[in-house]
């Protein structure tokens, strides 16, 4: 089992409505199984504010996607094994914030709402054992989770990470 950290750096989120294409480089990331039978367990979502304005309410949503991303590229994200002695699985999970087919957040499958002021604020969700957010496969709606900004507020620039395990 390989544990990963998917990091994103200096993303300026754009609030996006449900069932609308997420815009390249403006969402934190998508996390998708690398194959039809790969399960991922997501343990943590974290965002730290870097906004210049004192009023930067940033409404973040973790949701399953009704349209999954295709041909995902890293953009502002990086994916690294946490354990230096681990070996990556034969089919690596897919992480990034750019894609040819844009991911669309489901209107009904929101998992977490993590709102905060991006002017130096932080928001963190950490799963208790057995309560991780999971994906299975790489198709809608169980195979991909997105971390993105919801419509509303005036989001500020953020950096952070998603910690997960590929089974």
Q: What is the pLDDT of residues 22-54, one digit of tens each?
A: 999 999 999 999 999 999 999 999 999 999 989
Task: Give the pLDDT of residue 130.
Answer: 95
Task: Give the pLDDT of residue 38.
Answer: 95
Phi-psi region of 130 (alpha: psi -120 to 50; beta: other; left: phi over 0): left
Task: Give the pLDDT of residue 153.
Answer: 82
159 within 8 A of 29, measured Cβ to Cβ = no
DSSP label at 135? Answer: E
Task: Give the pLDDT of residue 53.
Answer: 84
Q: Measured over all CA atoms, what is the biggest interatomic distance in the chain, rounded to whole angstroms? A: 46
The CA–CA distances, whole Å, from 139 to 26, 32, 65 equal 22, 8, 9
Domain count, the chain: 1
Range of the domain at 93: 2-166
Task: Give the pLDDT of residue 88.
Answer: 82
Q: Which regions in the chain score pLDDT beneath 70?
A: none
State how far the Cα of 93 lies from the Cα of 36, in Å rounded to an integer: 11
């Amino acid at each position: 089992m390989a544990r990963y950290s998917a990091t994103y750096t200096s993303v300026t989120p754009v609030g996006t409505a449900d069932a609308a294409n997420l815009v390249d480089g403006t969402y934190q990331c998508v996390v998708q199984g690398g194959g039809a039978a790969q399960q991922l367990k997501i343990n943590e979502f974290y965002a730290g504010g870097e906004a210049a304005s004192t009023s930067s309410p940033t409404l973040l949503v973790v949701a399953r996607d009704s349209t999954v991303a295709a041909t995902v590229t890293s953009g502002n994200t990086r994916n690294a094994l946490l354990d230096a002695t681990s070996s990556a699985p034969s089919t690596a999970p897919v992480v990034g914030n750019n894609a040819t087919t844009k991911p669309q957040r489901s209107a009904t499958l929101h998992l977490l709402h993590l709102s905060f002021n991006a002017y130096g604020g932080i928001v963190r969700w950490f799963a208790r054992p057995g309560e991780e957010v999971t994906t299975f496969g790489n198709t809608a709606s169980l195979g991909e989770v997105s971390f993105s900004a919801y419509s509303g507020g005036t989001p500020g620039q953020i950096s952070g990470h998603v910690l997960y395990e590929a089974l």
